[in-house]
Structure 1
């Protein structure tokens, strides 16, 4: 044997394991799924970090929660895309319908919203939210695929359409927080279909 120590050997030494930003995401996911409030001090202690290091990793509690929510929503969006049928405006509208129905059935999301609706909406739907930013990116990919296939002829730039569709989803999914009404998946689906069927100016 040589006297050199490999990175693997160093990692296997007792006490050598070091937390990473992905560990922070994983523990925050577990907290949300358990229906508990995310405490940044407790999270830092679990990771063996100072609060300053944790905040340097994640930016803020709101940004971490936004990443957690999207990490849990991403599979639902992928499944909606995989399961939707057809093409064009009907396809995109069905993706949105399936995604919203999955969200409505995801209890950890609604426990989080019920605890502090205004704060939850800030985490989910503000322009600084990773949840909104990643949602827009996911919808943009769907639109880009449909446009490349010639299945839609967008009347607006895809960036603008993706943003509008996400805002439609937010408006009809979180209606109870915004206006006190009931979520309306059908209205969101129809609005998305109408938006994508609009003729070019």
Structure 2
């Protein structure tokens, strides 16, 4: 119910939600926590559905391959479609416009209900491509997923956090470099200077 309210661009009100569910506000609080915790669960549900839709889109258009017909890595295509869908979501945009502080806090809290799960979903996409022979990352998958999500967030929510228009094309190029290296080449690991 909370996810439907957010998706429709409606303010999430625990009293209204409790009444719709036919329970007391106290019962709702005991079951789901405070408003921000419920908002986090709702945003995660919407995010998870968006990611699953992006994965299904790849499977429908490209099949079970790691690289598409244009040579794009599956995880990068899926992540790009995911970000584009998030950016276009009218309900999320309304939340970011009407409650920017709450929205950013809930979306990007490293101990919250959204960001850790989004990072885990990205790690799963990366791990699948590594396992299927798509690429060899220069850092472990968990660190790479963390970097991709945080950088993606900085572009996706840049209008709120930095007063800049979101630029998903720039984000996609930078994320591609993080995953595949410059111009699709693997970037060699830095070796400390042995002369000191």
User: Is this a same-fold pair by TM over 0.5?
Assistant: yes
Q: Counterparts of 1:52 and 1:123 in 2: how far apart (Å)?
A: 22
The aligned counterpart of 2:179 is 196
- Counterpart of 2:10 (choices 31, 36, 51) is 36
- Compute the displacement of 1:39 (Å): 1.4
- Compute the displacement of 1:167 (Å): 0.7
Work out which of the two has the higher radius of gyration on C-alpha atoms and give 1 or 2.
1
Q: Matched residue of 1:130: which SS?
A: coil
- Compute the displacement of 1:180 (Å): 0.5
C-alpha RMSD over aligned residues? 1.9
Alignment of 1:130-149 (within 5 A): 130-149=113-132
- Compute the displacement of 1:42 (Å): 2.6
Q: Name structure 2 gaps, 5 residues minimum.
A: 182-186, 190-196
TM-score if structure 2 supplies the norm length? 0.80
TM-score if structure 1 supplies the norm length? 0.78
Q: Counterparts of 1:151 and 1:66 in 2: how far apart (Å)?
A: 33
Q: Counterparts of 2:7 and 2:53 in 1: how far apart (Å)?
A: 20
- Compute the displacement of 1:96 (Å): 1.9
Alignment of 1:1-201 (within 5 A): 27-84=1-58, 85=62, 87=66, 90-198=73-181, 199=187, 201=189
For this pair of structures, how many residues does the alignment match? 175
- Compute the displacement of 1:147 (Å): 1.1
Q: Counterparts of 1:196 and 1:34 in 2: how far apart (Å)?
A: 34
